Structure 1
Amino acid sequence: MRTFRNRTTVLAATATAALALTLTACGGGDEGSDAKSAGSAKSAGSAPESSASAASGGGSGKGTDTAKASTGTGSSKTAPLCTTKDVSISAAHRGGPPYTHIVLTAKNTSGHSCEMSGFPQVQFLESHKENVPAVAKSKPAAPVVLSAGAPAYALVKLSDGGKDEQTEPVTAFSVMLQGGTGQAAVRAPGASGIAVDPAKWATGYWTPELRNGADDF
């Protein structure tokens, strides 16, 4: 009886251990599957969040900076008007002889953008205090905003170049900027200066470049 009872006990213990191993194996497989599923879901959820963060962070910020830079340098709404302290104005012959025109060049030396408004207000003679009149067809379609170091140009007619004209010699003259402040003294080109006829003189508008047709007068 004792031998039978011991054998029964051993068999029962073996069956119990086998059942435990089976349950453990089943439970381990389910746990691994769940972990794998959770990991896949987390990875799938993390990728879009990271992409969205990159798009809304670096990409969007860079675009905004570019837009601001473009607006700051190209829009007359944000650029102040140029003053005679912001630009260096010089004069040179245009064509000739006879020298019937000069070109004014205003270079932005301020270190910031500014707008060249309208046309140069030129006074050649003490005896004629009025400004040289502007030619409407030379007016540019868009505001002329100069970035730092950039030039603007204006063509100025002095005379028709005829011998019978009532011209007067000019070695230096004054230029003021519309809407800006200050007055610039400009040296006339040439060793003997220029000859101007108050009945014929005219000036063009400030432009980023001289244009054939619009600047021919």
Structure 2
Amino acid sequence: MNLMRHRSLLLATAGTALALSLAACQSDAPAKSASAASSSAAGKAADGGQADASGATDPTGPARSTASKSSADDTAGGGSAGSTGGQASATTRVCTAGDITVTAARQDGPPYTHIVLTAKNTSGHSCRLAGAPHIQFLESHKQDVPSVAKSKPAAPVVLTAGAPAYALVKLSDGGVHEDNEPVSAFSVVLEGDSTVIAVTAPGSGGIAVDPAKALTGYWTPELRNGADDF
């Protein structure tokens, strides 16, 4: 009888110890889970995310960081600027008679039917030389010499300080002709300006001009010797 009672007491004691042990394990599990969640949230925040009070990561953290970097890169690279060359040329102020000096020279080689006008920018600043020169060779012919459309350049002629532009001018069909008239000086007016520029004709004896045959090319930035067939 005593043996049976002793076994019962041992079993009761073991059961109580097992129950206490299980209770302790259950109470410790939430603490470990909370600690793990806290460590996970801290790790994500360290990687660039922003953790809120509940431990969730704010996905807008990296996005804002990327946008800021992109903006900084644009600023460092000067931003997205379009090219304004064409617009700058078109808006450069037109050359006037006070900005340039116009001279005339014979075109090289026979039959000496053309001269070349050179307009040099002497103003010290850039200006745009528009259109073709308005030329009048003779007092008896008040009409401007007609311009040749195919000689018009594709882009505006902008002259920097000291830069020249050229215009090829036809005087006659060549040879001695009854319609040719001697010219020692003539007038040039620039597009967009009303000031008359007096130009001395090249050569000691001047030039022979046939008013019915005279033609002029447009101002171009290069000497187009013979390029314009007129």
Fold agreement, TM-score > 0.5? yes
Does 1:54 pair with 2:66?
no
Code of the residue aligned with 2:88 in structure 1: it is G
- 70 and 143 in structure 1: CA distance in 2 versus 1, 3 angstrom threshold: closer
Alignment of 1:127-166 (within 5 A): 127-140=140-153, 142-149=154-161, 150-166=163-179
Q: Find the counterpart in structure 2 of residue 185 from structure 1.
A: 198
Structure 1 CA distance for aligned equivalents of residues 80 and 222 of structure 2? 30
Q: 2:121 aligns with which of 108, 125, 129?
A: 108
User: Is structure 2 residue 112 aligned with structure 1 residue 99?
Assistant: yes
List runs of 5+ in structure 1 lacking aligned partners. 1-22
Which deviates more, 50-59 or 122-131?
A: 50-59
State, as a whole percentage, how many aligned pairs show the same letter: 53
The TM-score normalised by the length of structure 1 is: 0.68
* One-letter amino acid of the structure 2 residue matched with residue 132 of structure 1: V
Q: 2:88 pairs with 72, 84, 91, which one?
A: 72
CA contact (8 A) 2:138 2:186 kept: yes
Relative to structure 1, the CA distance from residue 109 to residue 58 in structure 2 (aligned partners, 3 Å threshold; closer, same or farther) is farther
Q: Which runs of 4+ in 1 moved over 6 A?
A: 29-32
- Cα distance in structure 1, aligned partners of 2:188 and 2:37: 89
User: Which is bigger in relative contact order (C-alpha 8 A, separation at least 6)?
Assistant: 1
Whichever residue aligns with residue 192 of structure 1, its letter is: G
Q: Shift of the alpha carbon at 1:182?
A: 1.7
| Cα deviation 1:185-206 (Å, max 9, x = unaligned) | 2222223322222232111222
Structure 1 pair 192–51 and aligned structure 2 pair: CA distance change class (3 A): farther
Q: How far apart are the structure 2 equivalents of 1:208 and 1:193?
A: 26
